[in-house]
Structure 1
Amino acid sequence: MTRSPATPLPPPKARRRLRETAALTQTQLATRVGVTPGIVRAWESGRTTPRGRKREAYARLLKTLAEEEAARQAKQKQQEQQEQQEQQEHQKPDEKQESAPAPVPKLEPESKPEPQSDAKPAPEPAPEPAPEPAPVALTPAQAFDALYAFSAPALVRQTFLLTGRREQARESVERAFQAAWERWPEVARDRDPVGWVRATAYEYALSPWQRFRPRHRHPEPPPADPGDRTLLNTLLRLPPRHRRTLVLYDGVGLDLPETAAETEASTPATANRLLHAREAVAGRLPALADPQVLHRRLTELASNERLRAAEPPAVRRGGERRARLRTRAAIAFTVALIGTTALTVRTAPTHYEPPVSPGQAVRGVPHRVAPGALSDEELELRQKLRDQMQDGPERLLPRLE
């Protein structure tokens, strides 16, 4: 069976523009589609893509908004044309009146004002206020450095709660920011660039391929405080999805729809994961049954560790170096593929060679008998043949008579 092609959708920027042009909020659009506002935010940022019936409903709604916008623009254009025509019609009689010669007024001699001894001096004009300085436009590198300096330390602490490894948390955040630098125009226009980087860092940190790295085989020293060590071990025993939901909701402070959108799950599923995670933590640490106390302890656990983050220029240079290496590897692979293809074409056979048929046994043929010992006459004849010259004038040549 063949699957039907998915309904096409405009780019994420066009989706947001259509919604804003129609004066709709994310909540209103989510109500019309039948999803949560967090999922709509993820669709407009490009982090997730709708599927199935939701995709079809979202595509129909966007198409309707686009048609309404085109109708409004056509109506506005028509009104502007009508206004221009009316202005031109009003200007025609005015031009006729201006073309008639106007009467020249008589000039009277100006009367000089008499000097007044008690006249007060005119007040000086008030100084004009100085213009406000225009906002300085940041370069892409400066904007990236500002975002990194603002959010990187907190993201490293949050990722440490997911992995329990300091170097892995730092590397995950750096990889996420390097990916953001590669797609900086898209990330810079996102309404929540920190959320974009956080989702990428969490995905890299919780990747199942991390367990195959040599660094993962050597455990890092646990926290010094026994309470922090117990809490961290409890978090690491949770399933990755429950752990991520707990950190986002009780650690970062996101609401339930935003947590569901970032974890790409429905709101009921996210609520169930949160409840199971809280029950698991409270079962081992009853003092953390209160969500406020749990939030405070998670913050303290992340703050007590000495977690460092690299400098923004180093992260940018690392991302650019990684991009250059990937480009060179792609070029080398392409060249090797082209060379292999050319060699195959050069050495491949140009005609069909039928396979050799297998041998068949032939019956009725007598077995081959090995020759026995030579007799005296045969030995004498062989010696005579060896002694005679094989070429030369003495050799007899056949002639026709």
Structure 2
Amino acid sequence: MTQSHAPPLPSPKERRRLREAKSLSQADVADKMGVTRETVRSWETGRTTPRGSKREAYVELLTAQDPVTTSADTEDETGVRTGIEAEAEAEVTARQEPYTEAETDRGVEAEAEAEADSDEEPAPPPPALTPPQAFDALYAFCTPALVRQTYLLTGRRELARESVERAFQLAWHRWPEVAVDRDPAGWVRATAYEYALSPWHRLRPRHRHPEAPPADAADRALLDVFLKLPPMYRRTLLLYDGVGLDLPETAAETEASTPAAASRLMHAREAVAERLPELAAPDELHRRLTVLAATERLRAAKPRSVRYGSEHRARTWTRAAIAFTVLLIGATSLTLRTAPDHYEPPMAPGATVRGLPPRAASGPLSDEQLELHAFLKSQMVSGPERLVPEAR
């Protein structure tokens, strides 16, 4: 596989020197790059390295007004190995080396000095948003791209919209947890991917009917190759080459180690390059995935409808749980009411007794016997021919 040419990065010490020379704190660089402060700190200590568009933007930010770099730094940079394996090994090795106390103290002191040297007045804090307003802002920011990404992951438009809506419904249901998360967009993205890749969808009736493929032949070929990858390979490739996450972030979102994520990424790229050799370059693959996702006009529901659906779903499940509990209590009470309160031994089955004569019984009376019986009853009991017992 070919590796795209990346702009040379200064050494970790030089990155920090350039940032301090521009009177920028790590928080300022994080805001400009759209990453967290911990990510910038890991870049400056050499634990991780930015890639792709973030790498180019980071180099441009550091060297915009100070393009001069030492020859030693240039030689160090050209000696760095390229490729996914080198990056994974460096990150795994750096993870085993925690920050030293001196490095942490120097970072805090540099940020304090940068803030002290700044003469600008702090900007007033933005007005606090209500939970519905914050949710609507997150929904409007993430939904357009997330629906397209889920479509690439599944190849089904309706399932993509449903997955994103379910993810945001769950986010609204757990909003106190999502609101304080370090990456709410990543939380929703992971939930949508998990729902979209659930194997239970294949049991649904509408899953048996394939949806219309993209109109362009090249897009159809790319989507066909992409959907034939295993789900975890597909997800790793989409996060790394489609979304643009770093390798540790991709590994964390897929719940895998960094070497495992790197291995999945390499195998996925090889499978795509085997079928489509023109997409062997990662930059070209990223561009084609972006174009394929942009060609589909996918729309999701309004944020208010999603919030109402989440609340309606929660009420429905709550009422169902209450009804089931009441039914269980009623069945238990009825069982206790009708159940016997003492033990009744069962009757033993009858047994045949042998050696005894059969029991004789008088049969029905004949006409003569009935006539004699009536005659005797009609006679007086005081006659000499009858004996009547006397009571003493």
**TM-score range relative to shorter protein:** 0.5 to 0.7
Change (3 A) 1:201 1:381: farther
Give 5+ residue unaligned stretches, structure 1.
Answer: 1-23, 30-34, 37-60, 62-129, 389-396
Could you tell me which residue of structure 2 aligns to residue 311 of structure 1? 302
1:245 to 1:344, Cα distance in 2 relative to 1, 3 A: same
1:218 positional shift: 2.4
| Number of residue pairs matched by the alignment | 274
Alignment of 1:255 onto 2:281: no
Describe the superposition over 1:264-299 as per-residue Cα deviations: whole angstroms up to 9, x where unpaired. Answer: 112222222222222222222222121111111111
- 2:209 is aligned with 1:230: no
Aligned to 2:325: 334
1:185 aligns with 176
Alpha carbons of structure 1 residues 199 and 131: separation in structure 2 relative to 1, 3 Å: closer
Aligned residue in 1 for 2:139: 148
Distance in 2 of aligned mates of 1:384 and 1:292: 127
Measured on the aligned residues, the alpha-carbon RMSD in Å equals: 3.3
339 and 372 in structure 1: CA distance in 2 versus 1, 3 angstrom threshold: closer
Rounded Cα–Cα distance in structure 2 between residues aligned with 1:213 and 1:286:
36
Partner of 1:196: 187
After TM superposition, list the pairs within 5 Å mapping 1:289-300 onto structure 2.
289-300=280-291
Aligned partner of residue 211 in structure 2, secondary structure: coil
Q: Cα offset for 1:132?
A: 6.9
Return closer, same or farther for 1:302/1:381 CA change in 2, 3 Å cut-off: farther
Q: Following TM superposition, by how much is the alpha carbon of 1:212 offset from its aligned partner in structure 2, in angstroms?
A: 1.6
The offset of 1:329, in angstroms, is 0.8
What is the rounded CA distance, in whole Å, between the counterparts of 1:321 and 1:246 in structure 2?
A: 36
Cα separation, 2, equivalents of 1:207 and 1:243: 14
Give the AA of the match of 2:290: T
Give how far 1:139 is off: 0.8
Match of 1:242 in 2: 233
Distance 1:373 1:357, change over 3 A: closer
Distance (whole Å) between structure 1 residues aligned to residue 203 and residue 303 of structure 2: 29
**Corresponding residue number in structure 2 for 1:135:** 126
* Alignment partner, residue 166 of structure 1: 157
Query: By how many angstroms is 1:375 displaced?
Result: 4.8
What is the aligned partner in structure 2 of residue 325 from structure 1? 316
In the superposition, relative to structure 1, how do residues 367 and 150 fare at CA in structure 2: closer, same or farther (>3 Å)?
Answer: same
The separation in 2 between residues aligned to 1:199 and 1:383, in whole angstroms, is: 103
1:2-401 matches, within 5 Å, as 135-367=126-358, 375=366, 377-381=368-372, 400-401=391-392
Deviation at 1:345, TM superposition (A): 1.0
Structure 1 residue 179 displacement after superposition = 0.8
Deviation at 1:377, TM superposition (A): 3.6
CA distance in 1, matches of 2:378, 2:287: 116
Note the C-alpha offset of 1:172: 0.5
Deviations 1:209-253 (A, max 9, x none): 111222212221111111111211212211111111111111111
> How much has 1:379 moved relative to structure 2?
4.3
Q: Distance in 2 between matches of 1:320 and 1:249?
A: 34
Higher alpha-carbon deviation: 254-263 or 370-379: 370-379
Q: Look up the match of 2:92.
A: none
Change in Cα spacing, 1:140 to 1:374, as seen in structure 2 (3 Å) is same
Deviations 1:102-134 (A, max 9, x none): xxxxxxxxxxxxxxxxxxxxxxxxxxxx99765
TM (norm. structure 2) is: 0.63
Label 1:332 to 1:373 Cα distance change in 2 as closer, same or farther (>3 A). Answer: closer
> If the length of structure 1 is used for normalisation, what is the TM-score?
0.61
Which has more radius of gyration?
1
Distance 1:268 1:387 in 2: 118
The one-character-per-residue Cα deviations of 1:49-106 (angstroms, maximum 9, x if unpaired) are: xxxxxxxxxxxx9xxxxxxxxxxxxxxxxxxxxxxxxxxxxxxxxxxxxxxxxxxxxx
Q: Distance in 2 between matches of 1:230 and 1:398?
A: 119
Q: 1:176 to 1:354 in 2, by over 3 A?
A: same
Structure 2: any 5+ residue segments left out of the alignment? 1-36, 49-97, 99-120, 380-387
Shift of 1:175: 0.7
1:180-207 Cα distance to aligned partner (Å, 9 max, x none): 1111121111111000000100111111
Separation in 2 of the partners of 1:359 and 1:245?
Answer: 75
Q: CA deviation at 1:380?
A: 3.1
Instruction: Compute the displacement of 1:178 (Å).
Output: 0.8
Q: Aligned letter for 1:328? A: R
Structure 1 pair 381/148, CA: closer, same or farther in 2 (3 Å)? farther
Quick one: which amino acid aligns to residue 203 of structure 1? E
